[in-house]
A and B are shown apart, each in its own frame.
Chain A
Amino acid sequence: MTEPHDDEGWQRLHPLSPLLRGGIVMLAVLGYGVSQLFDNVLGSFDPGTVVPGDLPDGGDAGREFSYTTHPVVALALLVLVIAAVAGGSWVSWRFARFRVTARQVELRSGVVFRQHRQVPLERIQAVETTRPLLARLLGLAQVVVQSAGGSDSQLTLAFLDAGRAEEVRAHLLELAGRADEQGAWADPRDPRDPAAPGAPPAAAVRAEDAAPLVTVPNDRLFVATILHGSTIVLGAIVLVGLTAVGIAEQGIRVLAGAPALIPVVLGLAIGRVKELLVHGNFSIARTGTSVRVRHGLTDLRTSSVPLHRLQAVEAVQPLWWRPWGWWRVRVNVAGVQGDDSGGDETTLLPVGTLDETLLVLATLGVRPDDPLVLDALQGTGPDAGWVGPPREARLLDPWAWRRIGYALSPGAVHIRSGRWTRHAVFVPHARVQSITLSRGPLQARLGLASARVVSTPGPVAAVVPHLAAADAEAFLAVVGDHAREARRPATGTRGPAGAPHSVAETVDPLAPDAPPLVD
């Protein structure tokens, strides 16, 4: 009954799982009921403490005998309730089984309504383990397997022993990260070139002993979380309010309006605190062919994303972070939505210095030795290799038009935008889903068009607005061409192995080499 494996490899979840899944609510209800019964049981043995009007069944004072107050009946009820709950939990636990085969991971659950969910290993997009507070106290964790089928496509193994959960995660990743699908980022001319220089070979490093690449100190995270548009606007309002109090006779009235701000402040504070809780204790490590992210102040989360599942990578720098040189790195992974259920698996670096950001980008496959990458992050004007909007675009985007642009490296499309909040987006050629061009009436008047590389849903959007119409059409042709090349099976048109790769080569010969940025 208790052996973990049976003949077909089916395994059980941890026996405490139903208790945890029911969660605190069930515990509270159970606790309340038990305490009530205990009161009655104990109370009825001690005749002095029974207050007749206090009976739970509402029995009136005149009655001398009540079933539920009789010690034996009460005790029996207590035992019955506990037995029912335990029995129900036991049955649901008995029926929930999972197994990992060579091709898929399967979960069977349900007693009356049976469910059998399977995720083929080649469809696994990411695997994470989560340890909510209660589970942490009991030493348990749940494993969530993400596949690319929309919001309800995940398979959750709740709960396993924490060590076992890590094992399952590592095992699944090992199976999911098979060699046939790797190399999305790699130079198509040079397939053997590892995406990140100096990276350990696949599967050489077990998930457990990989040293973190970057650890984000909590004090920096705290400052960065405070430095947010909403808090700064709020600060400005408060400052204006205080000055108004100081100088004008209307001050009292301003003060009277202050309580109206309380819900706003509360809302902001909750948002900020939530971000702190989610991103606290952040560390990222590379484990073989995937990256592993650990974070969470209360609910510990460990998520792993195979590198070849990344659809798009973005580095963002809000204006307020620029004096410190901080960046945030976000990614699109098919089937993994950001910000659901408090977790944020799409953030691979909540706040990092430039060096750390480049390190993380390098791990994700964006070559830091490519001058285009630094341009994408920090460039402000026309740079070599970049194609941006013509001068006419300043009417539509007076701030950012000089910075907006795209450039092509052998492995990826680089897109930069935003003058105040800087965005730098990298989409591997092999992950371009489709390309769209669009043009509104104003753009038509100025001879402009916007180009966009469509990625899977996620926080990263790869849009190059306000290109000259001809450049946008060239974007369609050139990016489409690289994508076409990258989609081909690895055996066919890939270049010779071990071809030397130099920085000078990274500017693609297909990219329009004279950027028509200025007339």
Chain B
Amino acid sequence: MTEHLVPPVEPAGPNPEVTLHGGPLPWRPVSPALATVRLIVLGVFLVVPLLASVVVAALVSPFVWLGTAALLALGAWGAWIIRRQVSAISWVELDEEIVIRKGRLFRSLVSVPYGRLQYVDIQSGPLVRAFGLATCEIHTASPESGGSLPGLPTAEAEALRTRLAARGEAQRAGL
């Protein structure tokens, strides 16, 4: 009976591997195609001002080429950020939680117990869908605590939702 006085966990702490910068756990990355999608969005936003600046530079004043260069630099910087951000998103399913890590400069990590899941959403816009991706959104009783996992292949997102729902049902805790 006395062994029950202490919650039955290893004294070293459970899952000591869950850290902000990954580690030996089988962290799974999201699809690299997400970076492509985001690059396309960035390109669409940049292409109009870029064309405008090229036209103005060619017709009016060569100084405007500076602006064009600045826009190109902005695009390159954005592309670099997007690649880094997408490669930083990773997730792992533990026995009782799903853990999602995001960001490099601003790192964040959210650990959502399956028992706290209220519902799971799968979303995909037209562009994302064209690449066969979907976003998996995890909702708990608190609107801020859920994690969202963008850039999962659609089949994987569906499978994840099914798994989460099943585990949520099995480990259901009240509010």
Question: Which residues of A does B touch, CB under 8 Å?
Answer: 125, 148, 181, 188-189, 309, 311, 334, 430-441, 444, 449, 454-457, 469, 472-474, 476-478, 480-485, 487, 493-496, 499, 509-510
CA distance A472 to B11 in the complex (A): 17
Q: List 17 A-B contacts (CB under 8 A).
A: A188-B7, A430-B173, A433-B145, A434-B112, A434-B140, A434-B142, A436-B145, A437-B20, A438-B107, A439-B108, A444-B105, A469-B19, A477-B16, A480-B97, A481-B7, A481-B9, A510-B9
A473 cross-chain contacts in B, Cβ below 8 A = 16, 18-20
B144 cross-chain contacts in A, Cβ below 8 A = 454, 457
Q: Give the Cβ gap from A413 to chain B, nearest Cβ, in Å.
A: 14
Q: A454-B145, A469-B20, A493-B4 are in contact. Are A309 and B108 (CB under 8 A)?
A: no
Q: Give the Cβ gap from A447 to chain B, nearest Cβ, in Å.
A: 11
Cβ of B113 < 8 Å from any Cβ of A?
yes
Q: A439 to B20, Cβ gap below 8 A?
A: yes
Cross-chain contact of A440 among B106, B111, B174 (Cβ < 8 A): B106
CA distance A484 to B173 in the complex (A): 10
Q: Give the Cβ gap from A484 to chain B, nearest Cβ, in Å.
A: 5
A311 cross-chain contacts in B, Cβ below 8 A = 175
Q: B113 to A437, Cβ gap below 8 A?
A: no
User: In residues 1-39 of chain B, which contact A (Cβ within 8 Å)?
Assistant: 1, 4-9, 11, 13-16, 18-20
A483 cross-chain contacts in B, Cβ below 8 A = 113
Q: A437 to B14, Cβ gap below 8 A?
A: no
Cβ of B123 < 8 Å from any Cβ of A?
no
Q: B20 to A441, Cβ gap below 8 A?
A: no
CA distance A439 to B21 in the complex (A): 11
Q: How many A-B residue pairs have CB under 8 A?
A: 126
Q: A438 to B106, Cβ gap below 8 A?
A: yes
A509 cross-chain contacts in B, Cβ below 8 A = 6
Q: Give the Cβ gap from A158 to chain B, nearest Cβ, in Å.
A: 26
Question: Which residues of B does A touch, CB under 8 Å?
Answer: 1, 4-9, 11, 13-16, 18-20, 96-97, 105-113, 115-116, 140-147, 171, 173-175
Q: B142 to A454, Cβ gap below 8 A?
A: yes
Q: A441 to B145, Cβ gap below 8 A?
A: no
B15 cross-chain contacts in A, Cβ below 8 A = 477, 480
Greatest chain B CB density within 10 A among A474, A493, A495 is at A495
Nearest-neighbor residue (CB-CB) of B3 within chain A? A495
Q: B7 to A148, Cβ gap below 8 A?
A: no
Q: A434-B142, A472-B20 are in contact. Are A480 and B14 (CB under 8 A)?
A: yes
Q: B175 to A334, Cβ gap below 8 A?
A: yes
Q: Give the Cβ gap from A332 to chain B, nearest Cβ, in Å.
A: 9
Q: Give the Cβ gap from A165 to chain B, nearest Cβ, in Å.
A: 26
With A430-B173, A438-B109 already in contact, 14 other A-B pairs whose C-beta atoms are closer than 8 Å: A189-B5, A434-B112, A434-B147, A435-B110, A437-B108, A439-B20, A440-B106, A454-B140, A473-B16, A480-B14, A481-B7, A484-B97, A484-B113, A493-B7
Q: A439 to B107, Cβ gap below 8 A?
A: yes
A487 cross-chain contacts in B, Cβ below 8 A = 96, 113, 115-116, 171, 173
Q: A456-B175, A480-B97, A482-B7 are in contact. Are A434 and B145 (CB under 8 A)?
A: yes
Q: Give the Cβ gap from A500 to chain B, nearest Cβ, in Å.
A: 11
Q: A181-B174, A334-B175 are in contact. Are A436 and B109 (CB under 8 A)?
A: yes
CA distance A320 to B43 in the complex (A): 54
Cross-chain contact of B108 among A430, A438, A493, A496 (Cβ < 8 A): A438
Q: Give the Cβ gap from B18 to chain A, nearest Cβ, in Å.
A: 6
CA distance A469 to B20 in the complex (A): 8
Q: A495 to B4, Cβ gap below 8 A?
A: yes
Q: Give the Cβ gap from B134 to chain A, nearest Cβ, in Å.
A: 22
B11 cross-chain contacts in A, Cβ below 8 A = 510
Greatest chain A CB density within 10 A among B110, B111, B143 is at B111
CA distance A433 to B118 in the complex (A): 11
CA distance A457 to B145 in the complex (A): 10
Nearest-neighbor residue (CB-CB) of B105 within chain A? A441
Q: B106 to A441, Cβ gap below 8 A?
A: yes
B96 cross-chain contacts in A, Cβ below 8 A = 484, 487
Q: A436 to B111, Cβ gap below 8 A?
A: yes
CA distance A181 to B107 in the complex (A): 36
Nearest-neighbor residue (CB-CB) of A495 within chain B? B4
Q: Give the Cβ gap from B107 to chain A, nearest Cβ, in Å.
A: 4
Q: B110 to A510, Cβ gap below 8 A?
A: no
A148 cross-chain contacts in B, Cβ below 8 A = 141, 175
Q: Give the Cβ gap from B94 to chain A, nearest Cβ, in Å.
A: 9
Q: Give the Cβ gap from B133 to chain A, nearest Cβ, in Å.
A: 24
B107 cross-chain contacts in A, Cβ below 8 A = 437-439, 444, 449
Q: Give the Cβ gap from A146 to chain B, nearest Cβ, in Å.
A: 12
B141 cross-chain contacts in A, Cβ below 8 A = 148, 334, 433, 456
Q: A476 to B142, Cβ gap below 8 A?
A: no
CA distance A493 to B146 in the complex (A): 27
Q: A469-B20, A480-B14 are in contact. Are A436 and B175 (CB under 8 A)?
A: no
